[in-house]
């Protein structure tokens, strides 16, 4: 895909620039998971391991972050480590992106902001852990992640392990349907729920072949439809925490968040941190396994898309 004409302060690494110019497969990766989703040093180790998975599958990884007033697409050298160690990186979504860039702030991109950057750079496939969605109690708080709106607007296929189980999954599916976002479970009928392969909810769509997902991505463009696709890829069985085991942990973490008055952008990082403690690190092991698994599938989809 050709990048959209723009004057954005984009700075692709030489490797990413060359791959895009030659039409080779590229997979975008987000950075909020590094700064706000996992503790040091597992965050850096995971970021590198995920890049290695993309490479092993024959594609080029492009980790995206805001640094020095530029959208860096592909973090080379010390940049990834710098970001993983930074304590004051902004969590940047669509609403914050222009301000963060105008100020020259260091910003970690969420799913929404990473999609915007990927589209500007001409990258069509993006792998992450879990997307944001409709939070439980959203009928009171109105807390609905900007990730959902971005999926409706920006033409990038996002591979995730399903919406995080800390969310209200039925409402998240309803909003995605309203917004016209295809939600495609990979290889099973049920929607996966991040740490668990099962959610108890039927996925709206199912596909078993990365080439078919690539074909659907192309077809949306041919139909003139904006927006991307959400591919929900179940965590590998040996790494999952079954839904019955994780549900009470989620409920305890949610009660803690409410008790502590956590709101807005702080909710997701707070819950992930509490889940980590409450499962004695098991939630992190699962998180790492599922991101790597998503990187592998995203690389297969990007490879299918790169073929003429
Ligand atoms: N899933 C994770 N770890 C994370 C996130 C998702 O396992 O850190 C991040 C993603 O960047 C996602 C963001 O876009 O949380 C959603 O935040 P919010 O609910 O504030 O929109
Ligand atoms: Mn939110």
pLDDT digit string (tens) for 128-156? 999 999 999 999 999 999 999 999 999 99
Ligand with the closest atom to the CA of 126: 1
The CATH T-level fold of domain 10-306 is Indigoidine synthase fold (3.40.1790)
The residue nearest atom 5 of ligand 1, judged by CA position, is 33
DSSP 8-state code for residue 224: T
The CA distance from 66 to 92, in Å, is 9
The pLDDT assigned to 1 comes to 62
The pLDDT assigned to 3 comes to 65
Ligand 1 atom closest to 194 (CA):
7
Active site residue 164: yes
164 Cβ closer than 6 Å to some ligand 1 atom: yes
Q: How far is the CA of 144 from the centre of ligand 2 (A)?
A: 5
Which residues sit with Cβ closer than 5 angstroms to ligand 2, an ion? 143
Q: How far is the CA of 253 from the centre of ligand 2 (A)?
A: 16
Q: How far is the CA of 272 from the centre of ligand 2 (A)?
A: 14
The pLDDT assigned to 81 comes to 97
Q: How far is the CA of 111 from the centre of ligand 1 (A)?
A: 7
The pLDDT assigned to 181 comes to 98
The pLDDT assigned to 174 comes to 98
Q: If DSSP codes are grouped into helix, strand and coil, which group holds residue 158?
A: strand
30 Cβ closer than 6 Å to some ligand 1 atom: yes
* pLDDT tens-digit series, residues 74-92: 999 899 999 999 999 999 9
The pLDDT assigned to 163 comes to 85
The pLDDT assigned to 268 comes to 87
The pLDDT assigned to 307 comes to 82
The CA distance from 177 to 135, in Å, is 16
268 Cβ closer than 6 Å to some ligand 1 atom: yes
For residues 32 and 108, the answer to whether their CB atoms sit within 8 Å is: yes
Locate the DSSP E strands across the chain. Answer: 10-12, 26-29, 60-67, 70-73, 90-92, 107-109, 125-127, 157-160, 183-186, 205-207, 229-232
130 Cβ closer than 6 Å to some ligand 1 atom: yes
Q: pTM for this one?
A: 0.96
The pLDDT assigned to 264 comes to 86
Ligand with the closest atom to the CA of 144: 2
Count Cβ atoms below 10 Å from residue 281 Cβ, excluding itself. Answer: 12
Ligand 1 atom closest to 267 (CA):
20
User: CB-based contacts of 134: which residues, under 8 Å, 6+ apart?
Assistant: 143, 144, 145, 148, 167, 168, 171, 172, 174, 175
**Domain boundaries of the chain, sorted by first residue:** 10-306
> pLDDT of the chain along its 308 residues, tens only?
666 667 999 999 999 999 999 999 999 999 999 999 999 999 999 999 999 999 999 999 999 999 999 999 999 989 999 999 999 999 999 999 999 999 999 999 999 999 999 999 999 999 999 999 999 999 999 999 999 999 999 999 999 999 888 899 999 999 999 999 999 999 999 999 999 999 999 999 999 999 999 999 999 999 999 999 999 999 999 999 999 999 999 999 999 999 999 988 898 899 999 999 999 999 999 999 999 999 999 999 999 999 86
Q: Which of 53, 124, 150, 164 is catalytic?
A: 164
The pLDDT assigned to 263 comes to 86
Place of tokens 């041919």: 222
The CA distance from 290 to 128, in Å, is 9
The pLDDT assigned to 4 comes to 66
33 Cβ closer than 6 Å to some ligand 1 atom: yes
């Amino acid at each position: 895909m050709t990048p959209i004409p723009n004057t954005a302060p984009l700075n692709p690494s030489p490797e990413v620039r060359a791959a895009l110019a030659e039409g080779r497969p590229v997979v975008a990766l987000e950075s909020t998971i590094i700064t706000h989703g996992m503790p040091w040093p597992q965050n850096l180790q995971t970021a590198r391991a995920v890049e290695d998975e993309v490479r092993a599958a024959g594609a080029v990884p492009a980790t995206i972050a805001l640094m020095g007033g530029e959208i860096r697409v592909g973090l080379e050298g010390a940049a990834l480590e710098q970001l993983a160690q930074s304590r004051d990186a902004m969590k940047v979504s669509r609403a914050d992106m222009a301000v963060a860039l105008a100020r020259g702030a260091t910003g970690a991109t969420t799913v929404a902001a990473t999609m915007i950057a990927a589209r500007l750079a001409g990258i069509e496939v993006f792998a992450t852990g879990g997307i944001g969605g409709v939070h439980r109690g959203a009928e009171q708080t109105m807390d609905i992640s900007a990730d959902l709106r971005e999926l409706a607007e920006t033409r990038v296929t996002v591979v995730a392990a399903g919406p995080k189980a800390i969310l209200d999954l039925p409402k998240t599916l309803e909003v995605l349907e309203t917004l016209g976002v295809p939600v495609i479970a990979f290889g099973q009928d049920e929607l996966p729920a991040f740490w668990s392969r099962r959610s108890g909810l039927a996925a709206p769509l199912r596909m078993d072949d990365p080439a078919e997902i690539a074909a659907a991505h192309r077809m949306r463009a041919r139909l003139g439809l904006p927006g991307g696709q959400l591919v929900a890829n179940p965590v590998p069985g040996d790494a999952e925490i079954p839904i019955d085991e994780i549900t009470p942990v989620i409920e305890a973490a949610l009660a803690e968040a409410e008790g502590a008055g956590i709101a807005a952008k702080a909710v997701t990082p707070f819950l992930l941190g509490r889940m980590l403690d409450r499962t004695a690190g098991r939630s992190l092991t699962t998180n790492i396994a599922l991101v790597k698994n998503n990187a592998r599938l995203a690389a297969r989809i990007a490879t299918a898309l790169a073929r003429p």
